[in-house]
Amino acid sequence: MQDQENTKDGLVSNRSVDIVVALILAGIGVLVIVDSLRLGAGWAEDGPQSGYFPFYIGLAIILASFGTIAVTLFGRNRTRGIFVERGQLLHVLKVLIPTVIFVALVGFIGIYVASAFFIGGSMRWLGKFRWRIVVAVSVAVPFALFLLFEIWFLVPLPKGPLEDFLGY
Protein backbone atom coordinates (compact mmCIF):
# COMPACT_ATOMS: atom_id res chain seq x y z
CA MET A 1 0.00 0.00 0.00
CA GLN A 2 2.87 2.34 0.85
CA ASP A 3 4.44 1.90 -2.61
CA GLN A 4 1.12 2.71 -4.31
CA GLU A 5 0.85 5.95 -2.36
CA ASN A 6 4.43 6.92 -3.18
CA THR A 7 4.00 6.35 -6.91
CA LYS A 8 1.08 8.77 -7.33
CA ASP A 9 3.46 11.64 -8.18
CA GLY A 10 6.06 9.37 -9.71
CA LEU A 11 5.99 6.78 -12.41
CA VAL A 12 7.58 3.85 -10.62
CA SER A 13 8.80 2.91 -7.16
CA ASN A 14 12.39 2.38 -6.07
CA ARG A 15 11.43 -1.16 -5.13
CA SER A 16 10.24 -1.97 -8.66
CA VAL A 17 13.37 -0.52 -10.23
CA ASP A 18 15.61 -2.45 -7.85
CA ILE A 19 13.90 -5.71 -8.78
CA VAL A 20 13.91 -5.04 -12.55
CA VAL A 21 17.59 -4.05 -12.58
CA ALA A 22 18.51 -7.10 -10.49
CA LEU A 23 16.62 -9.35 -12.93
CA ILE A 24 18.36 -7.75 -15.91
CA LEU A 25 21.75 -8.26 -14.25
CA ALA A 26 20.84 -11.85 -13.41
CA GLY A 27 20.05 -12.35 -17.10
CA ILE A 28 23.47 -10.96 -18.00
CA GLY A 29 25.00 -13.36 -15.49
CA VAL A 30 23.19 -16.26 -17.17
CA LEU A 31 24.54 -15.14 -20.57
CA VAL A 32 28.07 -15.03 -19.13
CA ILE A 33 27.69 -18.54 -17.72
CA VAL A 34 26.24 -19.97 -20.94
CA ASP A 35 29.06 -18.48 -23.00
CA SER A 36 31.63 -19.64 -20.47
CA LEU A 37 30.33 -23.19 -20.76
CA ARG A 38 30.55 -22.89 -24.55
CA LEU A 39 34.22 -21.88 -24.23
CA GLY A 40 34.95 -24.46 -21.59
CA ALA A 41 34.67 -23.59 -17.92
CA GLY A 42 36.61 -26.46 -16.49
CA TRP A 43 40.18 -27.21 -15.69
CA ALA A 44 42.38 -28.60 -18.45
CA GLU A 45 45.80 -30.27 -18.22
CA ASP A 46 47.52 -26.94 -18.78
CA GLY A 47 45.33 -24.91 -16.41
CA PRO A 48 41.94 -23.21 -16.48
CA GLN A 49 40.00 -23.16 -19.72
CA SER A 50 38.97 -19.86 -21.31
CA GLY A 51 35.58 -19.76 -19.63
CA TYR A 52 36.72 -20.76 -16.13
CA PHE A 53 36.97 -17.33 -14.53
CA PRO A 54 34.06 -15.74 -16.46
CA PHE A 55 31.88 -18.65 -15.30
CA TYR A 56 32.44 -17.74 -11.67
CA ILE A 57 32.00 -14.05 -12.36
CA GLY A 58 28.64 -14.83 -13.98
CA LEU A 59 27.72 -16.93 -10.97
CA ALA A 60 28.66 -14.07 -8.63
CA ILE A 61 26.52 -11.66 -10.67
CA ILE A 62 23.52 -13.99 -10.39
CA LEU A 63 23.99 -14.50 -6.64
CA ALA A 64 24.35 -10.74 -6.06
CA SER A 65 21.23 -10.09 -8.15
CA PHE A 66 19.15 -12.58 -6.18
CA GLY A 67 20.57 -11.13 -2.97
CA THR A 68 19.42 -7.69 -4.08
CA ILE A 69 15.95 -9.03 -4.83
CA ALA A 70 15.76 -10.75 -1.44
CA VAL A 71 16.84 -7.62 0.44
CA THR A 72 14.41 -5.52 -1.57
CA LEU A 73 11.48 -7.83 -0.86
CA PHE A 74 12.21 -9.03 2.66
CA GLY A 75 14.88 -6.77 4.13
CA ARG A 76 14.40 -4.61 7.15
CA ASN A 77 14.90 -1.37 5.26
CA ARG A 78 12.83 -2.23 2.23
CA THR A 79 13.19 0.43 -0.42
CA ARG A 80 10.30 2.88 -0.37
CA GLY A 81 9.52 5.97 -2.30
CA ILE A 82 9.50 6.86 -5.93
CA PHE A 83 12.34 6.31 -8.36
CA VAL A 84 11.60 9.21 -10.67
CA GLU A 85 8.94 11.88 -10.97
CA ARG A 86 7.36 12.79 -14.28
CA GLY A 87 9.24 16.08 -14.56
CA GLN A 88 12.56 14.42 -13.84
CA LEU A 89 11.88 11.72 -16.43
CA LEU A 90 11.13 14.36 -19.06
CA HIS A 91 14.53 15.97 -18.42
CA VAL A 92 16.23 12.60 -18.81
CA LEU A 93 14.32 11.86 -22.02
CA LYS A 94 15.36 15.22 -23.47
CA VAL A 95 18.92 13.91 -23.41
CA LEU A 96 18.28 10.19 -23.93
CA ILE A 97 16.18 10.41 -27.09
CA PRO A 98 18.65 12.62 -29.04
CA THR A 99 21.49 10.37 -27.87
CA VAL A 100 19.73 7.27 -29.20
CA ILE A 101 19.10 9.07 -32.51
CA PHE A 102 22.78 10.08 -32.62
CA VAL A 103 23.93 6.49 -32.12
CA ALA A 104 21.52 5.27 -34.81
CA LEU A 105 22.71 7.93 -37.28
CA VAL A 106 26.42 7.12 -36.83
CA GLY A 107 26.03 3.99 -38.96
CA PHE A 108 24.41 5.92 -41.81
CA ILE A 109 26.04 9.35 -41.92
CA GLY A 110 29.22 8.77 -39.94
CA ILE A 111 30.27 9.90 -36.51
CA TYR A 112 31.41 13.38 -37.49
CA VAL A 113 28.23 14.51 -39.26
CA ALA A 114 26.06 12.81 -36.62
CA SER A 115 28.09 14.63 -33.94
CA ALA A 116 27.51 17.95 -35.67
CA PHE A 117 23.75 17.36 -35.66
CA PHE A 118 23.78 16.11 -32.06
CA ILE A 119 25.84 19.02 -30.75
CA GLY A 120 23.90 21.60 -32.74
CA GLY A 121 20.52 20.15 -31.81
CA SER A 122 21.42 19.90 -28.14
CA MET A 123 22.80 23.42 -28.00
CA ARG A 124 19.74 24.91 -29.68
CA TRP A 125 17.04 22.81 -28.02
CA LEU A 126 18.40 22.44 -24.50
CA GLY A 127 20.74 25.42 -24.23
CA LYS A 128 18.75 27.90 -26.33
CA PHE A 129 21.98 29.23 -27.86
CA ARG A 130 21.93 31.60 -30.80
CA TRP A 131 22.16 30.02 -34.24
CA ARG A 132 25.50 31.65 -34.96
CA ILE A 133 27.10 29.98 -31.93
CA VAL A 134 25.31 26.69 -32.60
CA VAL A 135 26.63 26.47 -36.15
CA ALA A 136 30.15 27.49 -35.15
CA VAL A 137 30.47 24.96 -32.34
CA SER A 138 28.64 22.10 -34.08
CA VAL A 139 31.00 22.41 -37.06
CA ALA A 140 34.22 23.20 -35.16
CA VAL A 141 34.07 20.35 -32.63
CA PRO A 142 33.58 17.48 -35.12
CA PHE A 143 36.19 19.04 -37.41
CA ALA A 144 38.68 19.20 -34.52
CA LEU A 145 37.88 15.59 -33.62
CA PHE A 146 38.36 14.58 -37.26
CA LEU A 147 41.80 16.17 -37.27
CA LEU A 148 42.69 14.60 -33.94
CA PHE A 149 41.59 11.04 -34.68
CA GLU A 150 41.84 10.64 -38.45
CA ILE A 151 44.85 12.81 -39.27
CA TRP A 152 47.08 12.97 -36.19
CA PHE A 153 46.40 9.71 -34.35
CA LEU A 154 45.39 7.71 -37.45
CA VAL A 155 42.43 6.16 -35.64
CA PRO A 156 39.65 5.50 -38.14
CA LEU A 157 36.16 6.19 -36.82
CA PRO A 158 32.88 5.43 -38.61
CA LYS A 159 32.54 7.63 -41.67
CA GLY A 160 29.60 8.39 -43.91
CA PRO A 161 28.89 9.77 -47.37
CA LEU A 162 30.43 13.20 -46.68
CA GLU A 163 33.80 11.72 -45.77
CA ASP A 164 33.61 9.41 -48.80
CA PHE A 165 32.90 12.42 -51.01
CA LEU A 166 35.90 14.25 -49.52
CA GLY A 167 38.14 11.22 -50.08
CA TYR A 168 38.53 9.90 -46.54
Look at residue 131 and give its three-state secondary structure: helix
With 0-12 / 13-18 / 19 or more C-beta atoms within 10 angstroms meaning exposed / middle / buried, residue 47 is: exposed
Q: What is the number of domains present in the chain?
A: 2
Per residue in 43-96, pLDDT (tens digit) is: 989 999 999 999 999 999 999 999 999 999 988 776 578 888 888 889 999 999
Residues 97, 161, single domain; the answer is yes
Give the mean pLDDT of the chain: 90
The residue range of the domain holding 111 is 86-166
Note the pTM of the prediction, 2 decimals.
Answer: 0.64
Task: Examine the fold and report which residue of 80, 97, 131 is the final residue of a domain before the chain moves on.
Answer: 80
Q: Helices (DSSP H) in the chain: which residue ranges?
A: 2-6, 14-39, 52-74, 86-125, 131-146, 161-166
Look at residue 159 and give its three-state secondary structure: strand
Degrees to nearest 5, angle at CA 35 with 33 and 41: 65
Confidence grade of residue 3 (pLDDT, cut at 50, 70, 90): very low
